[in-house]
Amino acid sequence: MIQLSELLIRFEEVWPSSHAEDWDRVGLSVGSKHLEINKILVAVDLTEEVANEAIRLGANLIITHHPLLLKPIGEVTEEQLKGQLVAKLIRNSIALFSAHTNADVQADGASTLMAKAFGLAEFKPIIETAGGFGHGVIGTLAKPIRLEDFAKVVGNELPRTARKIVFAGRADALIQKVAICSGAGDSFLPQVLASDADVFVTSDLRHHPALDAISNPREKGPLALIDVSHWAAESLWTKRATELLNQIEGVEVFTSEAKTDPWTQEVN
């Protein structure tokens, strides 16, 4: 076992809180620093399923990528969702810690993990940051590949979800430079359009920003888009976080088996 206060020091070394965006809410959000930790569960999101999984495992610390209390709330009653979850954690002596944008900007953030899985090299960030590697990644494939074939590579390397991977652009267009943002990345579209990327792989693309992006008359030629599951992309980070945490003596670390992607059914 190890005291949570000691773990927090280790977490700060790996995911410095100073690297988080100003709007983010990272770090310890539930629990006492004096809690003795022997098992850790790593997940993308905190849901009731994840909380119950931690209880079954006997884990007394959950580390999530997405902060539970990202947006301010005025009450923590058990008549509303977040209050129920916080109460369940407290009753079962489970602490909650989140590493979000401060994990994203590291060299082993989810975007870089995706880039490696898709066979990219020669990485540079989409947006440079004061600390860490930066937001997103632009990398290069060893040789050009048809957009449709690259979309299949993306689909094969990410966990399957009910919501299918979709792409925008000519299926036979050759792509070699790839931009990636593991989360909701449409806010990065101006930087990607200004780059030499042939395709942008990200999640949660909205209709109007996506339509404007593929219609943009840039010198490089049309930007192709590949939209993937937000959960599937960032689940790669949970596996990497588990590997890092397993290096700490005195704790047992588990990667959550819960699929917290909200889309669970597909119409045939």
To 5 degrees, how large is the angle CA 236–CA 193–CA 237? 10
Q: What's the rounded mean pLDDT across residues 16-26?
A: 96
The residue among 50, 69, 44, 102 whose CA lies nearest residue 231 is 44
Q: What's the rounded mean pLDDT across residues 233-256?
A: 96
Whole-number pLDDT of residue 267: 82
Q: Which two tokens stand for residue 51?
A: 């909380």
pLDDT tens digits, one per residue of 153-208: 999 999 999 988 999 999 999 999 999 999 999 999 999 999 999 999 999 999 99
Superfamily of domain 105-232: NIF3 (NGG1p interacting factor 3)-like (3.40.1390.30)
Write down the domain spans for the chain. 2-102, 105-232
Q: Where residue 228 falls among pLDDT bands split at 50, 70, 90?
A: very high
Whole-number pLDDT of residue 222: 95
Superfamily of domain 2-102: NIF3 (NGG1p interacting factor 3)-like (3.40.1390.30)
Burial class of 24 by CB neighbour count within 10 A (0 to 12, 13 to 18, 19+)? middle
Whole-number pLDDT of residue 4: 97
In this structure, the strands spanning 166-168 and 224-228 are antiparallel
266 pLDDT more than 90 = no
Whole-number pLDDT of residue 75: 84
H-state helical runs in the chain: 4-14, 48-57, 81-91, 101-104, 110-117, 147-157, 189-193, 207-215, 230-245
pLDDT tens digits, one per residue of 79-106: 899 999 999 999 999 999 999 999 999 9
Supply the DSSP symbol for 250.
T
Distance CA(109)–CA(238), nearest Å, equals 10
72 pLDDT more than 90 = no
pTM over 0.75: yes
Give percent above pLDDT 90 in the chain: 93
Picking from 37-41, 69-73, 153-157, 179-183, which range would have the lowest pLDDT averaged per residue? 69-73
Residue listed under structure tokens 């990200």: 202
65 pLDDT more than 90 = yes
Q: Following DSSP, what letter does each residue of 85-145 receive, concatenated?
A: HHHHHHHTT-EEEE--HHHHTSTTSHHHHHHHHTT-EEEE-SB--SSSS-BSEEEEEEEEE
